[in-house]
């Protein structure tokens, strides 16, 4: 059973979260590492998949900035293998226009992506956003429960009928949002703003995360009863599914 991920963040001895930057382009890696270093993060670097896995094993990162196109072992495989060792936030770097690759990155568990060429300042903001959401909640609100699901925001842990589910950070946030707002339909733009904190972005990100989340919480993901599609609007969480099933699809 995977333990809930607790990023060290500002509570480490050095007062900074550790970020592993994986990119075979030395110029990109140097620029990204430089901006993150100036933002106060501890930065490790690797230029290929095996080196990234070795560095992650030696010093567990709080977050990984991972280029999709790497020699020998691509970023998708690196992400899969890191996920096998335990949850860790991942931001993928992808080439502009490679939508299929971006979707694949989200499918294997990346929490966010940035397309090249990108603004290093934007990347730093994305790192801050993902790490902020990764930290255990300090709010007074207790666990959320519905339809056999229990979501504990403080521990960032989800169980279904007593069995713990392995969710990525965004999947957790998306499920918690649904449980806080049952029965209400939300468009993909609404979910991107409320869950991701973005005013605009690639809406396929929401679609992919809905599909992944359904695969983990639904009895039959092909005929979802909890996370229902509301055609022309978006999605609705039904803790007590109605007798008449909603039309399905992503």
* pLDDT band for position 7 (cuts 50, 70, 90): very low
Cβ-Cβ contacts under 8 Å for 146 (sequence gap 6 or more): 179, 182, 237, 239
DSSP per-residue letters across 74-97: -HHHHHHHHHHH----EEEEEETT
pLDDT tens for each residue of 23-75 = 999 999 999 999 999 999 999 999 999 999 999 999 889 999 999 889 889 88
Task: Give Cα 86 distance to the centre of its chain.
Answer: 13
pLDDT tens for each residue of 108-162 = 777 888 888 888 888 898 898 888 877 655 445 678 999 899 999 888 889 999 8
Q: Sketch out the chain's domains with CATH numbers.
A: 9-134 (3.40.50.2300), 144-237 (1.10.10.10)
Task: Give Cα 60 distance to the centre of its chain.
Answer: 17
Gap between the terminal Cα atoms of the chain: 30
Q: Are strands 90-95 and 63-67 parallel, antiparallel or unpaired?
A: parallel
Structure tokens at 133: 């959401």
Nearest Cα to Cα of residue 240 among 185, 179, 190: 179
- Burial (CB < 10 A; 0-12, 13-18, 19+), residue 199, is exposed
Residue 98 has a pLDDT of 62
Residue 2 has a pLDDT of 41
- Burial (CB < 10 A; 0-12, 13-18, 19+), residue 32, is buried
| Adjacent-strand bridge partners of 63 | 19
Cβ atoms of 5 and 88 within 8 Å: the answer is: yes
Select the more confidently predicted residue: 17 or 84: 17
């Amino acid at each position: 059973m995977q333990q809930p991920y607790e990023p060290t963040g500002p509570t480490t001895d050095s007062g900074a979260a550790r970020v592993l930057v994986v990119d075979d382009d030395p110029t990109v890696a140097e620029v990204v590492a430089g901006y993150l270093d100036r933002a106060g993060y501890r930065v490790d670097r690797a230029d290929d998949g095996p080196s990234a896995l070795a560095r992650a094993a030696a010093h567990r990162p709080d977050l990984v900035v991972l280029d999709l196109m790497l020699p020998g072992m691509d970023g998708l495989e690196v992400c899969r293998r890191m996920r096998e060792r335990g949850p860790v936030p991942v931001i993928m770097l992808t080439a502009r226009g490679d939508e299929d690759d971006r979707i694949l990155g989200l499918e294997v568990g990346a929490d966010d992506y940035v397309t090249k060429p990108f603004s290093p300042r934007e990347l730093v903001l994305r790192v801050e956003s993902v790490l902020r959401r990764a930290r255990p909640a300090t709010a007074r609100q207790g666990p959320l429960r519905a339809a056999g699901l229990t979501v504990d925001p403080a521990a960032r842990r989800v169980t279904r009928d007593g069995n713990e589910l392995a969710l990525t950070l965004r999947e957790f946030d998306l499920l918690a949002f649904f449980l806080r707002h049952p029965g209400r339909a939300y468009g993909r733009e609404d979910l991107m703003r409320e869950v991701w904190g973005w005013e605009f972005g690639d809406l396929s990100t929401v679609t992919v995360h809905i599909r992944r989340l359904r695969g983990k919480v639904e009895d039959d993901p092909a005929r979802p009863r909890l996370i229902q599609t509301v055609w022309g609007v978006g999605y609705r969480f039904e803790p007590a599914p109605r007798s008449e099933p909603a039309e399905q699809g992503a």
